[in-house]
Amino acid sequence: MSLMDRFTSALFTAIPGGLFFIATLASASMMAREYFWSSIFLGALTLLGAALLFGFVIPPMFRSTGLGISVAGFAAMLFSLLVIALLNSTPLCVGQDNGDGNNSFGMCMAYVVLYSIFYGIPYMALLGLSALIGHWALRIRS
């Protein structure tokens, strides 16, 4: 795979993460008021960076570039969820007042599971669409 094809696959891998990062930035006013937005912001930033990196490295390992883009995006999502889980295991989440009392470690990890469901489903749908378009773009370019 040529260098230009690698950059193209990285771009198509990062498009869904970029949309989530832009959505996080659009809600910047909430970041100042709520304790959990710092971990979501860092998770979205990690998702965008990991998608760019994995999209450059992983797709050449696969014969189908669409599959490579999908695997790279899924790996980026798992990595960003790991970062959010690590951040939520710190005082950024544990011990914070959530309105009903203080967060426990279990509650903060439950938030990570909820993030993976609530944000993961639309992310995977966008990633599938982006991988399909990216596969077509790279096939036409070849």
Q: How far apart are CA 108 and CA 85, in angstroms?
A: 8
pLDDT for position 142: 67
Q: Report the amino acid identity of residue 83.
A: V
Query: What is each CA distance from 82 to 24, 97, 98, 140, in whole angstroms?
Result: 18, 23, 22, 36
User: What is the overall mean pLDDT for the chain?
Assistant: 90
Is the CB of residue 69 less than 8 Å from the CB of residue 32? no
Residue 64 DSSP code: S
Bridge partners of 97? 102
Question: Over the stretch 5-26, which tens digit does the pLDDT of each residue have?
Answer: 899 999 999 999 999 999 988 8
Is the CB of residue 112 less than 8 Å from the CB of residue 93? no
Q: How far apart are CA 83 and CA 77, in angstroms?
A: 10
- pLDDT over 70 percentage in the chain: 97
Residue bearing tokens 């797709």: 59
User: Two tokens at 139?
Assistant: 């096939």
Average pLDDT rounded to a whole number, residues 73-83: 96
Whether the per-residue pLDDT at 55 is higher than 80: the answer is yes
Question: Over the stretch 28-53, which tens digit does the pLDDT of each residue have?
Answer: 776 667 778 888 889 999 999 999 99
pLDDT for position 140: 86
Question: Over the stretch 112-130, which tens digit does the pLDDT of each residue have?
Answer: 999 999 999 999 999 999 9
pTM (2 decimals)? 0.89
